[in-house]
């Protein structure tokens, strides 16, 4: 039931670890000695990279919104680290344009306990799309968007609904959203307190801010360097395919090995399939986020659109506490580079060794009519128990052994900035997973499950 | 020598602990395998629900199996007028099936059926439990009224909803019932009935339910043509009050209740509700013209038997006017010591009811003496609640709710009446609720605690306290289990909770949803 048990049990995992060590040693012996590191610090940037990066940390401020850089969004190269942070804030978990989708999500523990859900989600904006709409299209303290979520799985929560009404926030207006829940058991719409921003949702690795997004002005930004990311979300070898719902062509079975970090339409893959990234560090500003659980965030941002393919969280002791990785897709081609959205996101909470995933299936940009806006995105609508536009998904995971792998640790990259400490039990599970190509649970039962 | 004995002690301890460590690892591994087996354990979902929905694509079919049991921690032979020779308060097994058939966009037929069996009457030897002989539904739902729980046609358009048939309508958002007054309730659990049970205990009613939606407003209108009264605990049921004496030859003569007629338009009920949402504030108003769901005995004559003059009492329901308000407001409090920000919601509900009928014991005595009175009196009542809900760190939720009940023009001769104080002019319940999951179980284990102290005035003062501790564990996404303790402490024998001082109980609930 808990990770400590693994060390006591030990034997099977130890065998896995031994096998991994042997494989690593053999691999080291066989590999070319001059394997080039994928990452570079700021002092090692290439001339092209230096031309794209502005090290200035005292850029002029906007006259009306002093927490914003003066340069007009989306900025022009060379970019400061702060501007990169602003560009990355374009790509929050819930895309910044009106759309509909079905969010399939779940969590797994180290014992293999799995808990999943699925909710049909409708998103409407009170302003124009994009970060620009959020920052300058609506005044601080005003409603920014409205999200309606109708649960369709598991049976216990079927027809449960939520209405999220996020606000444009700043240093003075701190309420992030109004939050309403409809419970079919109680048949009541109840206004709930907003979740605490830095707190994991129960039975989940995701925090409220992971979902709703963080305002870039709440952080101090610094460029650490560059890197190449080959993989983000990794499927196990027990799951060769996944069926996704494309809103135009319906259910499509995809080979999991074909799913790439930035989707099929991304034009800037390296010849080896990797994604060139800026690596940016964001430190929480104590004056704006006092007592915030996360002290430092490190982002891997694709160099062209600043899409965050990977993010790590560090606590106040500087210790790694969570890794988030994403597979993106160009879901809104009309917005070109700003139209990328998370198709899949995986969160690994290292403290509790729980992993949450979220698949945004059947994503469809959706202009809501005035009548629909007035009808759907209200607390009263939830009482009607009306699934207005049903959307289906087959992305639920059928067996714990088909669950995604823990994200790669990249221990060797930016070691001065990244303090990674795993418990012996967790380290053993991680290594065992790397050797097996699938999750290895506490009892070490690594027999492969039949493919779905 | 000392070292040697220390070493021996260490070796002894290590030898003793080694098997424990191995056993702990074995248990952990077994639990781990159990978790993975349970992860996909959903036989009725796989073999019943899926094939049905595949065969009839327009049909949604789902259901639940629930087993819940409560057992008295201690039993006494005699409590008040009760023979408490039983231990189990409930051994209930419930199968619920829900079907929704979609004819066209916005047009659905909904049906909910229940089958319930309570083993308390069969599975323990007791002379004090005999309610199943008075009413079979105390033990088993054996009639269509109980089995067919809901059955209604719903038609939804953007600006208008229409639902016709047997249904539940829930007004109110608080813990407890304040403006929630449309449906009757099966109150077989008496003081142990709580908000989370209402869905299963409410008595759906045949009605026409329409709602108009315009902007951020909605206006709901109800026309109820089938009256359902509350079902109070029956004599001989586990929660029948020990304060109520058994019927004897010297008891007053209780006639059949005067029925509210479904076929008489004049007996039908009506309700109106207006809601508005304005950012951080939502509010609404209700008006309802209903029957009191609990009848009051009217003295319609006397009869002399031996030396006793007995009243002939006819229970009648009373027409009531209800006017209520509801509001809630959300905010995030800043700069709170230890926690920085504090998300909070404040809620308010209040219901004023005109002309509630009470038994008046002075008038009943006068009626017995031959005076021209029916032994009742009418008074207005108010029931209201104010609540604050806080989102504390560690996913902890705290609710502070103060519930208030008041009878206007009260006098000590009055009995109980809708919305009024509990045998007193006013009653106050300052409720405390705390809930949190436990991270060491990856949040699968959660616990909540509720305390319901009751204070009344001006006569009774402290009326006892009810405490509830519930621990819930999620075995899988389909199966969960709960352990519950309910305690009733202090107060006098004739107080609301004091009368159930010997009813402290421990229970478990298992639920499988497919």
From chain B, the residues in CB contact with A162 under 8 A are none
Please give, rounded to a whole number of angstroms, the shortest distance from the CA of B363 to a CA of chain A. 41
CB pairs under 8 A between A and B: 190
Subunit contact A8:B24, Cβ cutoff 8 A: yes
User: pLDDT band at residue B8, thresholds of 50, 70 and 90?
Assistant: low
Angle at B50 between CA B44 and CA B56, to 5 degrees: 130
- Whether the per-residue pLDDT at A14 is higher than 50: the answer is no
Is A6 in contact with A429 (CB distance < 8 Å)? Answer: yes
Q: What domains sit in chain A, N to C, each tagged with a CATH number?
A: 1-36+424-447 (no CATH), 80-416 (2.50.20.10)
Q: Which of B31, B106, B343 sits opposite A193 (nearest CB)?
A: B343
pLDDT tens, position by position, B230-239: 999 999 999 9
Please give, rounded to a whole number of angstroms, the shortest distance from the CA of B482 to a CA of chain A. 15
Subunit contact A196:B393, Cβ cutoff 8 A: yes
- Whether the per-residue pLDDT at B163 is higher than 80: the answer is yes
Is A132 in contact with A117 (CB distance < 8 Å)? Answer: no
Which long-range contacts link A340-344 to residues 24+ away (Cβ below 8 Å)?
A340/A91, A340/A262, A340/A263, A340/A266, A340/A305, A340/A307, A341/A91, A341/A95, A342/A91, A342/A93, A342/A95, A343/A244, A343/A263, A344/A233, A344/A259
Of B207, B204, B199, whose CA–CA distance to B184 is shortest?
A: B204
From chain B, the residues in CB contact with A193 under 8 A are 330, 332, 343-345, 389-391, 397
Please give, rounded to a whole number of angstroms, the shortest distance from the CA of A63 to a CA of chain B. 27
Subunit contact A143:B218, Cβ cutoff 8 A: no
- Whether the per-residue pLDDT at A11 is higher than 60: the answer is no
From chain A, the residues in CB contact with B394 under 8 A are 199
- Whether the per-residue pLDDT at A368 is higher than 50: the answer is yes
Coil, helix or strand for B169? Answer: coil
Is B276 in contact with B216 (CB distance < 8 Å)? Answer: yes
Please give, rounded to a whole number of angstroms, the shortest distance from the CA of A74 to a CA of chain B. 31
Subunit contact B36:A113, Cβ cutoff 8 A: yes
Subunit contact A291:B106, Cβ cutoff 8 A: no
Q: Pick the residue from chain B with its C-alpha nearest to A166.
A: B279
pLDDT tens, position by position, B387-426: 999 999 888 999 999 999 999 999 999 999 999 999 999 9
User: pLDDT band at residue B14, thresholds of 50, 70 and 90?
Assistant: low
What is the Cα–Cα distance from B241 to A428, expressed in whole angstroms? 60
- Whether the per-residue pLDDT at A204 is higher than 80: the answer is yes
- Whether the per-residue pLDDT at B165 is higher than 50: the answer is yes
Of A76, A450, A23, whose CA–CA distance to A240 is shortest?
A: A450
Residue B254 CB partners (closer than 8 Å, separation 6+)? B247, B297, B313, B315
What is the Cα–Cα distance from A37 to A155, expressed in whole angstroms? 49
What letter does residue B191 receive in the DSSP assignment?
G
Q: Tell me what the pLDDT averaged over chain A comes to.
A: 90
Q: What pLDDT sits at residue A396?
A: 96
List the beta bridge partners of residue A356: A107, A347
Is A445 in contact with B30 (CB distance < 8 Å)? Answer: no
Least confident of A261-265, A294-298, B441-445: B441-445
Structure tokens at B271: 């309700």
CA distances from B14 to B7, B21, B29, B497 (A): 10, 10, 22, 52
User: pLDDT band at residue B455, thresholds of 50, 70 and 90?
Assistant: very high
With 0-12 / 13-18 / 19 or more C-beta atoms within 10 angstroms meaning exposed / middle / buried, residue A150 is: buried
Which long-range contacts link B261-267 to residues 24+ away (Cβ below 8 Å)?
B262/B206, B262/B225, B262/B226, B262/B227, B267/B227, B267/B291
The reply to whether CATH 3.40.50.360 applies to domain B31-513 is: no
Subunit contact B36:A112, Cβ cutoff 8 A: yes
- Whether the per-residue pLDDT at A451 is higher than 70: the answer is no
Subunit contact A8:B347, Cβ cutoff 8 A: no
Coil, helix or strand for A87? Answer: helix
- Whether the per-residue pLDDT at A28 is higher than 60: the answer is no
Structure tokens at B151: 């059955």
With 0-12 / 13-18 / 19 or more C-beta atoms within 10 angstroms meaning exposed / middle / buried, residue B15 is: exposed
Find the mean pLDDT for residues A255-273: 97
Q: Tell me what the pLDDT averaged over chain B comes to.
A: 92
Subunit contact A352:B343, Cβ cutoff 8 A: no
Least confident of A241-250, B25-34, B283-292, B312-321: B25-34
Q: Which of A187, A190, A375 sits opposite B168 (nearest CB)?
A: A187
From chain A, the residues in CB contact with B161 under 8 A are 384
Residue B259 CB partners (closer than 8 Å, separation 6+)? none
- Whether the per-residue pLDDT at A33 is higher than 70: the answer is no
From chain A, the residues in CB contact with B176 under 8 A are none
User: pLDDT band at residue B31, thresholds of 50, 70 and 90?
Assistant: confident
Please give, rounded to a whole number of angstroms, the shortest distance from the CA of A247 to a CA of chain B. 20
Q: Pick the residue from chain B with its C-alpha nearest to A390.
A: B105
User: Hey, CA dihedral for B167, A158, B215, B181, is it positive or negative?
Assistant: positive
What is the Cα–Cα distance from A92 to A342, expressed in whole angstroms? 8
- Whether the per-residue pLDDT at A219 is higher than 70: the answer is yes
From chain A, the residues in CB contact with B391 under 8 A are 192-196
Q: Pick the residue from chain B with its C-alpha nearest to A144.
A: B279
Q: Which of B25, B444, B446 sits opposite A113 (nearest CB)?
A: B444
Q: What is the ipTM of this complex?
A: 0.80
What is the Cα–Cα distance from A77 to A84, expressed in whole angstroms? 10
Subunit contact A191:B330, Cβ cutoff 8 A: yes
Please give, rounded to a whole number of angstroms, the shortest distance from the CA of A154 to a CA of chain B. 6
Structure tokens at A146: 């409205």
Find the mean pLDDT for residues B218-232: 96
Subunit contact A2:B513, Cβ cutoff 8 A: no
Please give, rounded to a whole number of angstroms, the shortest distance from the CA of B340 to a CA of chain A. 6
Least confident of A374-378, B7-11, B451-455, B510-514: B7-11
Q: Which of A111, A143, A186 sits opposite B31 (nearest CB)?
A: A111
Is B379 in contact with B408 (CB distance < 8 Å)? Answer: yes
From chain B, the residues in CB contact with A156 under 8 A are 477-478, 480, 511, 513
pLDDT tens, position by position, B235-278: 999 999 999 999 888 899 999 999 999 999 999 999 999 999 88
pLDDT tens, position by position, A79-113: 999 999 999 999 999 999 999 999 999 999 999 99
Q: Pick the residue from chain B with its C-alpha nearest to A396.
A: B40
What is the Cα–Cα distance from B212 to B217, expressed in whole angstroms? 8
User: pLDDT band at residue A383, thresholds of 50, 70 and 90?
Assistant: confident
Q: What pLDDT sits at residue A313?
A: 98
Q: Which of A116, A189, A191 sits opposite B345 (nearest CB)?
A: A191
């Amino acid at each position: 039931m808990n990770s400590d048990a693994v060390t006591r049990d030990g034997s099977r995992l130890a065998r896995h670890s031994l096998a991994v060590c042997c494989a690593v040693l053999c691999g080291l012996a066989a590999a070319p000695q001059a394997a080039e590191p994928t990452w570079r610090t700021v002092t090692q940037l290439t001339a092209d990279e230096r031309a794209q990066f502005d090290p200035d940390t005292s850029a002029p401020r906007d006259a009306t919104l002093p927490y914003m850089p003066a340069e007009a969004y989306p900025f022009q190269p060379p970019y400061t680290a702060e501007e990169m942070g602003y560009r990355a804030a374009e790509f929050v978990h819930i895309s910044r344009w009106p759309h509909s989708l079905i969010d399939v999500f779940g969590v797994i523990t180290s014992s293999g306990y799995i808990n999943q859900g699925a909710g049909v989600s409708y998103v409407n904006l009170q302003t124009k799309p994009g970060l620009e709409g959020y920052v300058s299209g609506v005044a601080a303290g005003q409603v920014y968007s409205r999200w309606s979520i109708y649960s369709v799985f598991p049976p216990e929560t079927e027809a449960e609904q939520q209405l999220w009404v996020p606000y444009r926030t700043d240093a003075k207006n701190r309420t992030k959203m109004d939050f309403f829940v409809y419970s079919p058991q109680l048949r009541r719409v109840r206004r709930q307190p907003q979740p605490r921003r830095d707190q994991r949702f129960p039975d989940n690795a995701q925090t409220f801010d992971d979902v709703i997004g963080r305002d870039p002005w709440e952080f101090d930004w610094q460029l650490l360097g560059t890197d190449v990311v080959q993989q983000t979300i990794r499927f196990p070898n027990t799951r060769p395919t996944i069926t996704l719902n494309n809103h135009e062509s319906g259910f499509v079975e995809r080979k999991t090995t074909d799913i790439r970090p930035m989707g099929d339409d991304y034009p800037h893959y390296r010849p080896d399939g990797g994604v060139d990234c800026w690596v940016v560090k964001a430190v929480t500003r104590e004056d704006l986020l006092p007592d915030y659980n996360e002290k430092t965030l490190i982002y891997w941002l694709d160099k062209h659109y600043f899409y965050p393919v990977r993010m790590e969280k560090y606590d106040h002791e500087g210790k790694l506490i969570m890794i988030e990785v994403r597979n993106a897709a160009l879901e809104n081609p009309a917005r070109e580079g700003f139209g990328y959205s998370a198709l899949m996101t995986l969160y690994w909470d290292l403290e509790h060794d729980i992993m949450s995933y979220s698949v945004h299936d059947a994503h469809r940009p959706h202009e809501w009519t005035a009548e629909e806006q007035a009808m759907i995105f209200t607390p009263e609508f939830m009482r009607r128990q009306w699934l207005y536009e049903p959307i289906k998904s087959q992305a639920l995971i059928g067996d714990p052994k088909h669950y995604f792998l823990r994200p790669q640790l990249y221990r060797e990259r930016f070691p001065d900035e990244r303090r990674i400490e795993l418990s012996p039990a967790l380290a053993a599970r991680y290594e065992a997973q790397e050797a097996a190509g699938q999750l290895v649970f506490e009892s070490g039962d690594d027999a492969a499950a039949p493919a779905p | 020598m000392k070292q040697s004995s220390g070493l021996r002690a260490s070796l002894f301890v290590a030898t003793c602990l080694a098997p424990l460590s191995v056993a702990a690892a074995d248990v952990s591994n077994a639990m781990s395998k159990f978790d993975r087996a349970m992860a996909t354990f959903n036989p009725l979902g796989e073999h019943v629900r899926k094939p049905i929905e595949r065969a009839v694509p327009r049909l949604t079919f789902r259901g639940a199996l629930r087993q819940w049991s409560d057992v008295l921690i201690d039993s006494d032979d005699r409590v008040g007028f009760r023979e408490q020779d039983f231990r189990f308060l409930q051994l209930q097994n419930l199968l619920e099936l829900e079907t929704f058939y979609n004819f066209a966009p916005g047009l659905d037929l909904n049906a909910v059926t229940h089958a319930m069996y309570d083993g308390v009457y069969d599975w323990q030897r007791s002379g004090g439990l005999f309610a199943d002989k008075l009413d079979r539904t105390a033990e088993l739902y054996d009639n269509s009224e109980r089995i067919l729980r809901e059955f209604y046609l719903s038609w939804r358009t953007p600006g208008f909803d229409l639902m016709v048939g047997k249904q539940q309508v829930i007004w109110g958002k608080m813990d407890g019932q304040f403006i929630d007054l449309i449906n009757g309730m099966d109150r077989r659990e008496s003081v142990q009935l709580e908000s989370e049970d209402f869905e299963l205990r409410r008595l759906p009613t045949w009605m026409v339910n329409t709602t108009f939606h315009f902007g951020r407003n909605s206006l709901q209108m109800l026309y109820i043509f089938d009256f359902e009264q509350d079902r109070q605990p029956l004599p001989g049921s586990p929660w029948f009050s020990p304060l109520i004496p058994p019927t004897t030859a010297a008891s007053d003569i209780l006639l059949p209740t005067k029925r509210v007629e479904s076929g008489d338009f004049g007996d039908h009920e009506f309700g109106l509700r207006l809601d508005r949402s304005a950012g951080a504030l939502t509010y609404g108003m209700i008006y309802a013209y209903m029957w009191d769901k609990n009848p009051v005995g009217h003295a319609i004559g006397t009869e002399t038997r031996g030396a006793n003059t007995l009243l002939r009492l006819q229970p009648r329901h009373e027409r009531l006017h209800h006017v209520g308000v509801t509001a809630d407001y959300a905010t995030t409090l800043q700069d709170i010591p230890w926690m920085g920000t504090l998300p909070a919601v404040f809620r308010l509900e209040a219901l004023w009811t005109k002309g509630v009928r009470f038994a008046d014991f002075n008038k009943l005595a006068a009626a017995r003496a031959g005076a021209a009175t029916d032994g009742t009196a009418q008074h207005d009542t108010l029931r209201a609640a104010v609540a604050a809900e806080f989102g504390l760190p560690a996913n902890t939720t705290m609710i502070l709710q103060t519930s208030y009940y008041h009878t206007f023009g009260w006098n000590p001769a009055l009995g109980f009446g809708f919305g009024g104080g509990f045998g007193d002019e006013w009653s106050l319940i300052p409720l405390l609720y705390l809930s949190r999951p436990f991270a060491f179980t990856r949040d699968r284990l959660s616990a909540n605690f509720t305390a319901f102290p009751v204070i009344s005035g001006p006569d009774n003062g402290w009326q006892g306290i009810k405490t509830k501790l519930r621990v819930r564990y999620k075995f899988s996404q389909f199966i969960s289990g709960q352990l519950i303790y309910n305690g009733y402490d202090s107060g006098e024998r004739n107080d609301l909770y004091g009368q159930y001082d010997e009813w402290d109980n421990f229970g478990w609930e298992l639920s499988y949803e497919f």
